Structure 1
Amino acid sequence: MIIDSPTIPSHDGLSSNVSFDGFQQNHWPDTFDDVNYTFPSFPSIPPQLSLLVKNVDLRLDFNEFSQEIKTRYPQVTNVIRLKNKFNNDVKLVKLEVSSSTLREELLIKRQITVGYIVYDIDEYLVPANILICSKCMGLGQFMKQCTKVKSTCRTCGECADDLKLYICSKIEKCIHCGQNHNSNFPPMPMPQFLPTNSNNTMLTKLDDLLGKITEVNNHLSNLELKYNHFEQFMIEKKESDLLVKENLNLLSKQSVEFKKDLVRHSVLIERHKNLFMKLIVPMFEDLFGLIASQNQDKKGNILDPDLKLKLERYLIQMKKIKEGKYSIN
């Protein structure tokens, strides 16, 4: 025998801790009066019992993420990654919980830990669908209930007796908000509002982040200034090194020239020395000897004793010059 699925309780039933126990099959007996029963299907979890997990990374292993949540919290029946209007995954994950007690506990904590990462939790708010009249584009009624005489063009928002004969300007304008879209624009899901404390915390974190960014910017500006000074120093150093190198090359050339001059002067000095030692000194010795011989009479007596002393002194000096012992003070 097949029994119907348990009836989904109303929103007021959330106040009871066991209001949704009927969603779990293990709370139902297998037999009634010796008759076996089976469940053809299980009812969906009402959105009032759902929770929203925020900032779940798109790159993580979602199957492992879901399994860990279900292992830690058996009352979580489904873990669903939400999608945007382009059918792309977003960082919001919906948890369908079969126990209002667990739901309240998680909402009090406002956090859930999965894989050593703490995620924020908030209530799941059901997206609201708005009924739009296809005749007058009014809200909250069907076309059969519309009391308007004229029809409204969904594109330009102008009224006409017969839209089939009306020529539209093709300029989109919503009659509700005045924006450039059709008046029967599909309603967007209601936003998930964050608590005031979370907003304040987020704003504080953003302010801190902006402060840190400003500090980093100032630090980078100081680094840029120091780098410019260092770069200028390196340019000046390079120019100075080139100048020093040129001066060293010039000194090297001058040193070579000085060495050549030194060799040339050494040769000249050696020549003059040879000339003096081999020509002039012997010539003076012969001259002094001749003068000394003329300073005697026929008997060999000295005519001028002072001249003799001078000649002897000159000869001694000549001898010292030959031996290299004489110096002129």
Structure 2
Amino acid sequence: MMKKWLLPVFASFMIFAGAGTHNAEAATQTQLTTTAYKYIGIPYVYGGTTTKGLDCSGYTQLVFKQLGISINRTSSAQYNQGTAVSKSNLQIGDLVFFNTSGNGVSHVGIYVGNNKFAHAGTSTGVTTASLGTSYWAQRYVGAKRIATFTNGTTQVAAGEVKNAAIDFKIYASRGEVATRLAKVLGVDTSNTNSPFSDINSSSTYAGVATAMYKLGIFTGTNGKFNAGSPLTRSQMAKVLVEAFDLKMANKVVSFGDVKPGSWDYNYIQILASNGITIGKPNGTYGGTDYVTLTQLNTFIERAKNM
């Protein structure tokens, strides 16, 4: 049992230990902004901490949690964390604070570069705004650096790049999607002569990446397969349409965030018209959201039964 005289000393240590800056070397600035942006469009809900609805500090806490960083719950409590940063020295990932109530710190957002910050606004939901607009400039209080995000990426074996900000026990990586599709489609994965610059013949995904490329299902980005990166719902729509040769049914479905003429419009329409996706409860599709493993299973089951 801890001696009573040690308890105040231990408590003091915990307070000071929690006030510093986290070492977030495993998370990059790109991962921070990607995570912050994927919640854009989520409605504002006072006290909200989930994707059903977020308030300002619930949003910042959720983003940092996705990156493996624990921060306090309220904007005023978050303002008491980290290291103070001047406005001229802001870095991506810094928390920016505002006085919107007239009673001190009452609003918080995440600096995402180019004088912009992402936040959950009461009238806008999660969105981005400029620090330079008169409204926010007049109410700006200061900034705190809870963590330092790097400019690089985290390298793993076989030349693949792993997105350290994503929990792949929840979300589906591109490599996982390709592997599952290859199994469902029963394709030959013996050819490991990958056309992708980041997948060599000894890679875990060499066979499935090659097979998916030859079938036109995965074409890669700038010559890379990016096996350790997550797949967005828009990208998943394209992959499923190509994999199962799906065609448009006689049904047009409207999603508030999918506009005619966008690259993903036809793919999403094909999925929706065939009942493979029904979108989100708020009437959107959520194309920039990452595909979860649960969603992946559901999509594949529905598509293969068409």
Same fold (TM over 0.5): no
Question: Comparing both structures, which one devotes a greater share of its residues to helix?
Answer: 1
TM-score (structure 1 length as normaliser): 0.18
Structure scoring higher RCO (CA < 8 A, sep ≥ 6) equals 2
Question: Comparing both structures, which one devotes a greater share of its residues to strand?
Answer: 2
TM-score (structure 2 length as normaliser): 0.19
